[in-house]
């Protein structure tokens, strides 16, 4: 593709995306295809000769689109809605155009320095402790996802707990333990598996009436492990747990972790970004006591996947756990010690220039625009929760401080599941479920940049109508 051909097809692709935004509401939210239907419409053999890009765009419409669930649809209330925006897409496109591999400073100084700078900006916007900024021993980096953040937190924690021995010797079964609440995302258990600790190393903390981890239980579990000769390596607290939005008492959990020399990590994948609003500054309470913190602009801050922002208060354990310097990566800048090489801050070596899209988002919206985005969703969720609370057929199952409302039908699990299926099958809205105290619960996650009051009202009307006389 020559530059001129690229210009022509590029314009067509951008037009396609712009048109997609204008017609988004005309699609059913949830794809209606059956398993295998999309593959059956694709040729069995790859093309022998090149094809025009127009044909790719045509097949996108005809073959691919029926199999798309519209994550940006204003009535997408499942999981956590996708947070793409124009400036993020354009920033990402520019990064693709540059094709930079920013694995070490020397391979593209701007890729590293912009990322460091944007993460410092973002730390300021969220009111994070100054220890997380790059001008001291700490600093921030963009990870693919909160799951990667959890994994590197486990690895840094093991490095510290073992005095640097786990990198050479591996992890002996039954030597280290990790603690987190039953509400915490499954990515923490997966991180334990990937790190070689195994799921058995994970201790689940019991929760209180608001689904937050109980610090007394953490203390009991740690003391029992220490008595049995097991080293507490890591405590993971959640702010904004996936199922219920639970907020753990970070300050108390981190203090107990540190009494026992364990690393404290906070997973704020979804909710953490809300701290851009001063009224949600309480979300960052206690972070000055923790070792690492992650939040995903791709979950609720207008930035397309993937973009997890991850900070450490002291990067030495992270770099100690992950740094291996083969001859072919040696260079004067690295040896001077004056630069950051982000390859030492995550699992993979190569890395895309993702800071460009976050930079574009922060500059386009400014702090005011970001706050407006969060506040709009929180207000809509509060309105939705008030309708649920006022209808005696329904019951709220968790506090709803932000934009996630967890609820069910008092008539029970079967009725709640049937209601969800009815609404989802209609294509008008898409909600997913969780389990709260063993009960089947619906989650209304409001977060699409496209969602307006009328969409939330329509979803409520569909739920209320579908609930019939359930009591
Ligand atoms: N943590 C929380 C609280 C989440 O809600 C999620 C996903 O929904 C994750 C972690 C995993 O996120 P990611 O897809 O960025 O790995």
Q: What is the pLDDT of residues 314-351, one digit of tens each?
A: 999 999 999 999 999 999 999 999 999 999 999 999 99
Confidence of residue 427 (pLDDT cuts 50, 70, 90): confident
Q: Is the CB of 248 under 6 A from ligand 1?
A: no
Please give the share of the chain, as a percent, with pLDDT higher than 70. 100
Return the structure tokens found at 7: 């210009």
Pocket test residue of 81, 296, 447 for ligand 1, highest count of atoms within 8 A of CB: 296
Mean pLDDT of 76-105: 97
Q: Return the beta strands (E) in 127-194 as ranges.
A: 139-143, 176-181
Backbone angles phi, psi at 444, to 5 degrees: -110, 100
* Model pLDDT, residue 468: 83
- Distance between Cα 248 and ligand 1 center (Å): 16
Give the ligand 1 atom nearest the CA of 296: 15
The pLDDT of residue 375 is above 70: yes
- Distance between Cα 148 and ligand 1 center (Å): 10
Q: What is the pLDDT of residues 264-316, one digit of tens each?
A: 999 999 999 999 999 999 999 999 999 999 999 999 999 999 999 999 999 99
Q: Is the CB of 307 under 6 A from ligand 1?
A: no
- Distance between Cα 270 and ligand 1 center (Å): 7
Give the ligand 1 atom nearest the CA of 298: 15
Backbone angles phi, psi at 226, to 5 degrees: -60, -45
The pLDDT of residue 470 is above 80: no
Distance from C-alpha of 265 to C-alpha of 218, rounded to nearest angstrom: 14
* Model pLDDT, residue 428: 85
- Distance between Cα 190 and ligand 1 center (Å): 12
- Distance between Cα 269 and ligand 1 center (Å): 5
Backbone angles phi, psi at 61, to 5 degrees: -70, -45
Return the structure tokens found at 290: 């923790």
Distance from C-alpha of 43 to C-alpha of 428, rounded to nearest angstrom: 32
* Model pLDDT, residue 351: 96
- Distance between Cα 281 and ligand 1 center (Å): 21
Return the structure tokens found at 261: 């020399």
* Model pLDDT, residue 471: 58
Q: Is the CB of 201 under 6 A from ligand 1?
A: no
Mean pLDDT of 152-179: 94
- Distance between Cα 299 and ligand 1 center (Å): 8
Q: Is the CB of 310 under 6 A from ligand 1?
A: no
């Amino acid at each position: 593709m020559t530059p001129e051909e690229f210009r022509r097809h590029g314009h067509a692709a951008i037009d396609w995306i712009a048109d997609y935004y204008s017609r988004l509401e005309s699609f059913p939210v949830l794809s209606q295809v059956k398993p295998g239907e999309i593959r059956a419409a694709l040729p069995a053999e790859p093309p022998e000769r090149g094809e025009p890009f127009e044909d790719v765009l045509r097949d996108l419409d005809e073959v691919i689109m029926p199999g798309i669930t519209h994550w940006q649809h204003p009535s997408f209330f499942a999981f956590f809605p996708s947070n793409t925006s124009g400036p993020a897409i354009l920033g990402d496109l520019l990064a693709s155009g540059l094709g930079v591999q920013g694995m070490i400073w020397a391979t593209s100084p701007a890729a590293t320095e912009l990322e460091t700078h944007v993460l410092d900006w973002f730390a300021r916007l969220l009111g994070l402790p100054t220890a997380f900024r790059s001008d001291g021993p700490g600093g921030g980096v963009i990870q693919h996802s909160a799951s990667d953040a959890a994994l590197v937190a486990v690895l840094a924690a093991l490095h510290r707990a073992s005095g640097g021995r786990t990198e050479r010797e591996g992890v002996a079964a039954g030597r280290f333990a990790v603690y987190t609440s039953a509400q915490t995302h499954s990515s923490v258990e997966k991180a334990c598996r990937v790190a070689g600790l195994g799921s058995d190393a994970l201790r689940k903390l019991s929760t209180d009436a608001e689904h937050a981890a109980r610090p007394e239980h953490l203390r009991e579990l740690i003391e029992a492990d220490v008595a049995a000769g097991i080293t507490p390596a890591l405590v993971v607290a959640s702010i904004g747990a996936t199922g219920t939005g639970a907020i753990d008492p970070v300050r108390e959990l981190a203090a107990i972790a540190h009494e026992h020399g364990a690393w404290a990590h906070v997973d704020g994948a979804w909710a953490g970004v809300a701290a851009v609003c001063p009224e949600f500054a309480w979300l960052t309470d206690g972070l000055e006591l923790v070792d690492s913190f992650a939040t995903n602009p791709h979950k609720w801050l207008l930035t397309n996947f993937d973009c997890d922002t991850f900070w450490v208060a002291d990067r030495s354990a992270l770099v100690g756990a992950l740094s291996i310097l083969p001859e072919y990566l040696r260079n004067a800048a690295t040896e001077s010690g004056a630069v950051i090489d982000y390859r030492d801050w995550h699992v993979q070596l190569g890395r895309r220039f993702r800071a460009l899209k976050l930079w574009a988002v922060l500059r386009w919206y400014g702090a005011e625009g970001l706050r407006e985005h969060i506040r709009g969703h929180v207000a809509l969720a509060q309105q939705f929760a008030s309708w649920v609370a006022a209808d005696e057929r329904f019951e709220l199952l968790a506090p709803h401080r932000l934009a996630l409302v967890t609820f069910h039908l008092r008539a029970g699990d079967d009725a709640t599941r049937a209601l969800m299926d009815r609404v989802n099958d209609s294509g008008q809205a898409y909600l997913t479920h969780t389990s709260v105290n063993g009960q089947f619960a619906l989650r209304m996650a409001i977060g699409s940049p496209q969602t307006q009051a009328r969409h939330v009202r329509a979803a409520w009307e569909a739920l209320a109508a579908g609930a019939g006389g359930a009591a």
